[in-house]
């Protein structure tokens, strides 16, 4: 079992949101909205560039937490609130800390920040497995 | 019907009919997903590792719950989709823009290859109108539940803000102006405008405008060049155009024939001029109205 009292910081995760990353994650999450793969369409709709989709944010938050918790953990919930967009060519940095702990059950507060500000903020509840 | 009444009606319809995922949970989509996200957790891809883990076999990433029932490339909303119905109501009320604000997913258990999920959706709440940084809008919350058979395996509360952008000035269309025909004889004139020069064709000592293929005396062997006008002149004649509409112009506007200090007359719109105060002899200066990368139009402003 992980030794992680409330307040434990998770190792940060940095994601380079290259156009390839934005497009490949949109398609891997079966999200074909043009603003995630077609730069001209994104510009026409008033965006600066193509940008990350929400299903990818959920996936990244999961990856960030389980990278730390390990493969024996069970993710129970991922609750996120979206802030500024994450456009192609930006860098997204996730940080997190343990905010609640009850036996094997922990809650992690997560924040993902890019050059425009807070892109995603939320909490992940998981049950830690043995190690 | 008010927005609130429409919301109550849609919420009253309860859960939409279950919509089945196109494909059963499968390793190919999991492999694509973990590769794109960069997730190296072995319980999704390494059969041997997964079998010995707490999961007792390969599992699908829980965050993929929504992926299985995504619509795909040629998707259209089902007629009983509550989010679609609510979006229509708000579109009609002028709240035309949308941004997702919250996604809250609960995973009751992990999914495994071969399981076929279906999803239902219902409208939870519509709250507004609220003043937000993006403009006035309504928060629309729906709840999606994923099932395998009768067993609920995951659910999601999803909230969007449907808003009216603050009076963004309607973008003036750049394209719909009447475009001039540019010939070999007039090319230099339009090229000059793009660089902020008012160029006048010269045949020896004689200036000619509009430019043409021959000098006024008809010498077929003559070759022209050009001078750059100083840009100052006086109104020689003008019209105030009230009707009909002209693409890209607000009515009324003034078109002036200006006699340049160089002695030739050039036509163009007199910008920002009150038609009441325009008169023959009014001093003007050349102006350059950039339409796009290709086209700049000649125009005039009242001299200061």
Kindly provide the ipTM of the predicted complex, given to two decimals. Answer: 0.97
In a domain, residue B181? The reply is: no
Check CB contact under 8 Å for B37 and A59.
Answer: yes
In a domain, residue B179? The reply is: no
Domain that holds residue A47: 8-127
In a domain, residue A3? The reply is: no
In a domain, residue A2? The reply is: no
Which among B26, B33, B170 is the top mutation candidate for probing chain A, defined by the most A β-carbons within 10 Å of its own β-carbon?
Answer: B33
Together in a domain, B110 and B237: no
Domain count, chain A: 1
Check CB contact under 8 Å for A29 and B43.
Answer: no
| Residues A36/A50, Cβ–Cβ less than 8 Å | yes
User: Residue B245: its pLDDT value, please?
Assistant: 82
Together in a domain, B83 and B191: no
Q: Write out pLDDT tens, residues A65-115.
A: 999 999 999 999 999 999 999 999 999 999 999 999 999 999 999 999 999
Domain that holds residue B158: 3-163
* E-strand stretches of chain B: 19-20, 97-107, 117-132, 135-148, 151-164, 199-203, 206-208, 225-228, 232-241, 253-260, 265-270, 283-290, 296-302
**B135 touching chain A per CB within 8 A:** no
In a domain, residue B173? The reply is: no
* Domain CATH number, residue A97: 3.10.129.10
* Domain CATH number, residue B66: 3.10.129.10
In a domain, residue A35? The reply is: yes
Of A21, A30, A54, the CB nearest to B103: A54
Domain count, chain B: 2
Of B41, B61, B101, the CB nearest to A82: B101
Together in a domain, B233 and B155: no
Model-level pTM?
A: 0.69
| Residues B249/B243, Cβ–Cβ less than 8 Å | no
pLDDT in tens, chain B (304 residues): 789 999 999 999 999 999 999 999 999 999 999 999 999 999 999 999 999 999 999 999 999 999 999 998 988 888 889 999 999 999 989 898 888 999 999 999 999 999 999 999 999 999 999 888 888 999 999 999 999 999 999 999 999 999 987 765 444 444 477 888 888 889 999 999 988 899 999 998 889 999 988 887 888 888 899 999 999 999 999 999 988 888 777 888 999 999 999 999 999 999 988 888 899 999 999 998 888 888 899 999 998 7
Neighbours of B255 (CB within 10 A): 17
**B106 touching chain A per CB within 8 A:** yes
Check CB contact under 8 Å for A59 and B63.
Answer: yes
Q: Chain A: nearest CA to B11, how far in angstroms?
A: 23
* Chain A residues lying within 8 Å of B99, measured CB to CB: 82
Please report, for residues A67, B44, B61, B147, the alpha-carbon distance to residue B66 in angstroms, rounded to integers and kept in the order given.
21, 17, 11, 11
In a domain, residue A1? The reply is: no
**B100 touching chain A per CB within 8 A:** yes
Together in a domain, B159 and B191: no
* Chain B residues lying within 8 Å of A43, measured CB to CB: none
In a domain, residue A18? The reply is: yes
Tokens matching residue A21: 């990353």
**B72 touching chain A per CB within 8 A:** yes
**B96 touching chain A per CB within 8 A:** no
Angle, CA A16 vertex, CA A81 and CA B31 arms, to 5°: 80
Tokens matching residue A63: 């990856």
User: Residue B178: its pLDDT value, please?
Assistant: 80
Which among B19, B46, B63 is the top mutation candidate for probing chain A, defined by the most A β-carbons within 10 Å of its own β-carbon?
Answer: B63
In a domain, residue B175? The reply is: no
């Amino acid at each position: 079992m992980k030794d992680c009292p409330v307040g434990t910081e998770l190792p940060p995760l940095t994601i380079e949101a290259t156009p390839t990353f934005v497009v490949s994650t949109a398609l891997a999450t079966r999200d074909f909205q043009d603003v995630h793969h077609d730069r001209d369409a994104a510009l026409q709709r008033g965006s600066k560039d193509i940008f990350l989709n929400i299903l990818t944010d959920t996936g990244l938050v999961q990856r960030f937490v389980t990278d730390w918790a390990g493969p024996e953990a069970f993710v129970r919930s991922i609750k996120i609130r979206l802030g500024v967009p994450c456009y192609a060519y930006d860098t997204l940095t996730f940080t997190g800390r343990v905010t609640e702990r009850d036996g094997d059950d922990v809650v992690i507060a997560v924040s993902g920040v890019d050059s425009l500000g807070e892109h995603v903020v939320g909490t992940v509840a998981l049950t830690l497995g043995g190690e | 019907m008010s927005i609130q009444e429409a919301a109550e009606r849609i919420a009253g319809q309860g859960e939409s009919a279950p919509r089945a995922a196109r494909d059963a949970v499968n390793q190919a989509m999991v492999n694509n997903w973990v590769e794109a996200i960069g997730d190296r957790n072995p319980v999704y891809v390494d059969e041997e590792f997964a079998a010995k883990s707490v999961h007792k076999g390969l599992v699908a990433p829980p965050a993929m719950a929504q992926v299985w029932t995504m619509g795909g490339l040629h998707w259209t909303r089902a007629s009983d989709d509550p989010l679609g119905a609510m979006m229509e109501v708000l579109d009609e009320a002028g709240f035309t823009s949308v941004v997702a604000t919250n996604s809250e997913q609960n995973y009751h258990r992990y999914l495994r290859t071969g399981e076929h999920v279906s999803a239902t959706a219902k409208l939870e709440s519509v709250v507004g109108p609220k003043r937000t940084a993006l403009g006035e809008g309504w928060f629309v919350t729906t709840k999606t539940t994923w099932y395998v058979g009768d067993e609920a395996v995951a659910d999601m509360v999803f909230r969007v803000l449907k808003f009216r952008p603050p009076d963004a000035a309607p973008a003036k269309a750049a394209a719909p102006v009447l475009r001039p025909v540019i010939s070999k004889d007039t090319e230099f004139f339009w090229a000059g405008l793009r660089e902020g020069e008012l160029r006048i064709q010269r045949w020896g000592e004689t200036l000619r405008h509009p430019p043409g293929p021959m000098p006024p005396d008809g010498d077929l062997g003559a070759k022209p060049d050009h001078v750059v006008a100083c840009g100052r002149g006086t109104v020689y004649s003008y019209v105030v155009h009230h009707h009909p509409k002209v693409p890209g112009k607000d009515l009324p506007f003034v078109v002036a024939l200006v006699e340049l200090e160089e002695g030739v007359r050039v036509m163009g719109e007199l910008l920002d001029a009150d038609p009441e105060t325009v008169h023959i002899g009014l001093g003007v200066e050349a102006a350059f109205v950039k339409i796009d990368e290709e086209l700049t139009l000649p125009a005039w402003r009242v001299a200061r």
